[in-house]
Structure 1
């Protein structure tokens, strides 16, 4: 949580013992538009975060940020890419075998 002056009030996130720094301009944009959705790397290259920031007002003003690491998403993306590549290779091999078998059985020049 951030107060209306963009000072960090509370955080459960820790990166090397400190709350990660929010990219500049996010709170200004959120103040103008009410909400912002961002991804950023607080500590490149090993950490990526997706966050939603909303502004609130009433007796006081401020911002609430909810964030999540993208590590699991990136692992799943990588696994899906590997699966798709393997499926493509298997498809090509099966097609090659089918064509070779067809040529052998029904090919011209048999005599």
Structure 2
């Protein structure tokens, strides 16, 4: 019974290690998705008062790069580099309110099913600058990490199970005495 407990403990520890590594890598990847939008928002905040960039508007999609949307005091979009179905997208008012209250807000925004964005909102002169980018590349990378870690975890459990089976097999096998040559 002690052997079983020892091997089960090893399996639980292995599972916890692989699970912790996955959770850490997943959070690191998600946090890195905020870096480019945060930099773009900071740059745009410094430009408030001048004309918004004359960049062409692109349609918001799973392969969207970094985009910027400026919201007025009435929480309506006034300018931006991206559209959703032909018009400037509208973020939930709570995100804009939180940015005005706390100085910034970073959230995952899903404007429609299958379209997830990492967005950072920062207030500037009564307006709110929102910058974001698609989470699709980060989520694709996350799936690959999960696949590799799952394979490593499963392989580790197979090695543990094989080791346990070998010990059980050899523990119950009777020892044979060496044969003596017959004269």
Could you say which TM-score interval applies, normalised by the shorter chain? 0.7 to 0.9
How far residue 4 of structure 1 moved from its aligned partner, in angstroms, is 2.2
Runs of 5+ in structure 2 lacking a partner? Answer: 1-69, 177-183
Highest RCO, 1 vs 2 (Cα 8 Å, sep ≥ 6): 2
Higher share in helix: 2
How far residue 88 of structure 1 moved from its aligned partner, in angstroms, is 1.4
How far residue 103 of structure 1 moved from its aligned partner, in angstroms, is 6.0
Q: What is the distance in 1 between the residues matched to 2:87 and 2:168?
A: 67
How far residue 22 of structure 1 moved from its aligned partner, in angstroms, is 0.3
Matched residues, number: 107
Tell me which of 127, 137, 144 is aligned to 1:72. 137
How far residue 42 of structure 1 moved from its aligned partner, in angstroms, is 0.2
Partner of 1:91: 156
Tell me which of 124, 137, 145 is aligned to 1:56. 124
SS of the counterpart of 1:6?
coil
Q: What is the distance in 2 between the residues matched to 1:13 and 1:4?
A: 20
Q: What is the distance in 1 between the residues matched to 2:77 and 2:151?
A: 47
How far residue 68 of structure 1 moved from its aligned partner, in angstroms, is 1.3
SS of the counterpart of 1:25?
helix
Q: Is 2:102 the counterpart of 1:33?
A: yes
Instruction: Return the TM-score normalized by structure 1.
Output: 0.77
Runs of 4+ aligned residues of structure 1 deviating over 3 Å after TM superposition are: 95-108
Q: What is the distance in 2 between the residues matched to 1:93 and 1:16?
A: 50
Q: What is the distance in 2 between the residues matched to 1:72 and 1:110?
A: 59
SS of the counterpart of 1:50?
strand
Runs of 5+ in structure 1 lacking a partner? Answer: none
Tell me which of 68, 79, 92 is aligned to 1:10. 79
